Structure 1
Amino acid sequence: MQANDEVVPRRTQKERTRQALLDAALELTADHGFAGVSLRQVARDAGVVPTAFYRHFASMDDLGLALVEQTFTTLREMARDARSDPANYDDIINVSASVIVTHVRAHRSHFAFIARERFGGVPAVRRRIRAELRLFVSELAVDLRTLPYISAWESQDVQMAARLFVSIMVSTAEQVIETPEARDDLLEEIEEDTRRQMRLIVLGFASWHPPH
């Protein structure tokens, strides 16, 4: 029993240290961008010596990829909340708009990281963000396929609809990130604008026919 009792705290401490490194990197990127953050800075802010960094990550690129994975985990949680058994399109739109704004506010630093790094910075991180966004589009397309009208569409058209929704989600997240926390009025405007954009897309579903 003593051996097991010792293993659990060590494993727990290792997980805490790893998370501390991720949190430190996330905070530092807010001011410097990921490319401007050094391993020594991350280790110092996490409260560990630089050599301890390598017990958790092979390199700074590896840490950056872990941040992308962690961020998209929260994004998938958001999507699951928005897809919780909606009865119709209006339910999907209303729930999605509300969940996006609420979730991004709760995970502002994660979504700010994606917004900053997806067009610049470290190539490996940028490529992973783009790959994760493509995967997210594909996952959403599977859900859209079950909805009225869309069930009969060609796969490429379903993917197109999913990309439109994801583009709105990304745009909404970036607006929320840039809005001061105390401005609930502006956040309400963003949420309503998101609903309007989604409704505009949905209006075209019944009339969509692929060009021949």
Structure 2
Amino acid sequence: MTERKHRSRRSSLERMRDAREQRTPTRERLMQAALELVADGRGFGSLGLREVARAAGVVPTAFYRHFRDMEDLGLALVEEGGLTLRRLLREARRDDLPARDIIRHSVGIYVEYLRAHRLHMRFIAGERLNGPARVRDAIRREVSRFSEDMAEDLRALDFLAHLPPRVMRLVCDLVVATMLDAAGDLLDDDLSERERERLFDALVERIRLIFLGAGAWHEEGAG
């Protein structure tokens, strides 16, 4: 990696750290309390404002200083998790690595993020299909941004340059869906280290197969 990219990686992480430091402790406690309640098996839609405030150790009126309602808190959780992960994966794809290594490198960053933000990713994985409508919509938008970022970066790398934009986007949609679908297994606390390695390798291979198939793509009626 070039020195310029090292600086870019550091500056991006510093910006994320500065943004986190600007958020108030009470806001952080409310978000963390909601994540912990969801991790105990509750659906986010079943949580009450007073319940979250009590778990965070604050009075309900303090909640309204930071969020309009519970769905507003859910949207903040989606935005925080999605933005950080998107930045990290974009930087991984921009490193000077062969395509084969970029896949493994990106999956490695993804898995590290899952482990470091277990509650956050369990929330997103669980609410992606079953959460309140506004939260589901926000998650869909974040997933769409993942795909858009990936397609843009791969075009910049001149990777699979024969694919029309529409098909490249479909390929990226499939890659992102594959990564999200793997999150539940990768976050299983009962897995041994060997089982984690097996799941990691399997995810890398699935994504490679997607790109191998994309490499053989041709439009019907062409050629």
Q: Give the TM interval when normalised to the shorter protein.
A: 0.7 to 0.9
Give, in angstroms, the shift of residue 153 of structure 1.
2.1
Equivalent residue letter for 1:180: D
Matched, 1:56 2:66: yes
- 1:163 aligned partner: 173
Equivalent residue letter for 2:164: E
**Compared CA separation, residues 144 and 172, structure 1 to 2 (3 A):** same
Q: Give the alignment partner of residue 137 of structure 1, picking from 147, 152, 155.
A: 147
Aligned residues of 2:45 and 2:131 also touching (Cα < 8 A): yes
Distance 1:49 1:155 in 2: 51
Question: Unaligned regions of 5+ residues in structure 1, if any?
Answer: 1-11
Distance 2:23 2:163 in 1: 48
Give, in angstroms, the shift of residue 81 of structure 1.
4.8
Equivalent residue letter for 1:141: A
- 2:30 aligned partner: 21
- 1:174 aligned partner: 184
**Compared CA separation, residues 121 and 207, structure 1 to 2 (3 A):** closer
Matched, 1:204 2:213: yes
Give, in angstroms, the shift of residue 84 of structure 1.
4.2
* Aligned Cα root-mean-square deviation (Å): 1.9
**Compared CA separation, residues 149 and 115, structure 1 to 2 (3 A):** closer
Aligned residues of 1:118 and 1:130 also touching (Cα < 8 A): yes
- 2:15 aligned partner: none
Aligned residues of 1:27 and 1:109 also touching (Cα < 8 A): yes
Give, in angstroms, the shift of residue 136 of structure 1.
1.4
Question: Unaligned regions of 5+ residues in structure 2, if any?
Answer: 1-20
Equivalent residue letter for 2:213: G
Distance 1:171 1:131 in 2: 17
1:151-197 Cα distance to aligned partner (Å, 9 max, x none): 232110110111121122112222212x2266211110111001111
Give, in angstroms, the shift of residue 24 of structure 1.
0.7
Aligned residues of 2:43 and 2:127 also touching (Cα < 8 A): yes
Equivalent residue letter for 2:116: A
- Which segment drifts farther, 54-63 or 24-33? 24-33
Matched, 1:194 2:203: yes
- 2:93 aligned partner: 83
Q: Could you state the TM-score of these two structures normalised by the residue count of structure 2?
A: 0.83
**Compared CA separation, residues 41 and 98, structure 1 to 2 (3 A):** same
Give, in angstroms, the shift of residue 13 of structure 1.
9.3
- Which segment drifts farther, 111-120 or 143-152? 143-152
Q: Percent identity?
A: 42
Runs of 4+ in 1 over 6 A off after TM superposition: none
Number of residue pairs matched?
200
